[in-house]
Amino acid sequence: MNPLPLWERVVSTEGANRVRGRNSRDAGPLTRFLASLGTTLSHKGRGEAMSMMRSLNLLGPFTRLGLVVAAVVCALDQALKLWLLFGFELAARGAVAVTPFLDLALTWNKGISYGWFQQEGPLGQWVLLALKLLAVVLLWIWLARVANRLAALSLGLIIGGAIGNGIDRLAYGAVADFVHFHVTTATWRFSWYVFNLADVAIVAGVIGLLYESLAGERAAKAP
């Protein structure tokens, strides 16, 4: 059975007819009507989706920019994690020194970014996942209302990082962290939280929002 809708099969048939050198008018008025109906429904569906997003305050002048940034961040984060987990096999290698102050060391984080609010049970993990989903929705609404590219870029970084870590939690029950920054001297040692690319994106996004807020206040106070 052909899974395509009737009008898509009609369009495909007409395309084949044109390749064979036939005139599309030979297909008859019913064929032309169904093809036209398919095109109309396709455009109408996209228009209704855009209208629904606007009515839900999910579409603004810089929403597309923010969502593209979020998608790129999430894709990079997941690609790096998949390579480290299954290509590089970081778990079997243990700590791998990259520089004297930076190691790759796999840690499964059952809390939020940088290991805060650890949750051991499945209920706690689902609660964190639900909170993350709520945060993404609220950030998207905020994204739809921003008035400049810096704010949209910053929110996109945060949304992409949150989704990347959320995918980890859904797939593995914990977030894969792997970057360990540390400094060791003869008399002093500093060890930072183990983090990942998504965490870096979230922190960068927060810094961008703070800068945008402060710059906006200075611009408003300027004579």
d(CA 96, CA 35): 59
Is residue 192 classed as helix, strand or coil in its secondary structure? strand
Which H/E stretch holds residue 199? helix 197-221
The structure tokens listed for 208 are 């961008």
Indicate if 168 belongs to the active site: no
Q: Which residues contact 63 (CB under 8 A, 6 or more apart)?
A: 140, 143, 144, 152
Is residue 22 classed as helix, strand or coil in its secondary structure? coil
Indicate if 177 belongs to the active site: yes
Q: Which residues contact 69 (CB under 8 A, 6 or more apart)?
A: 152, 153, 156, 157, 160
Q: Put the strands of the sheet holding 175-184 in their side by side order.
A: 96-99, 102-109, 175-184, 189-195
What residues are labeled active site? 177, 199
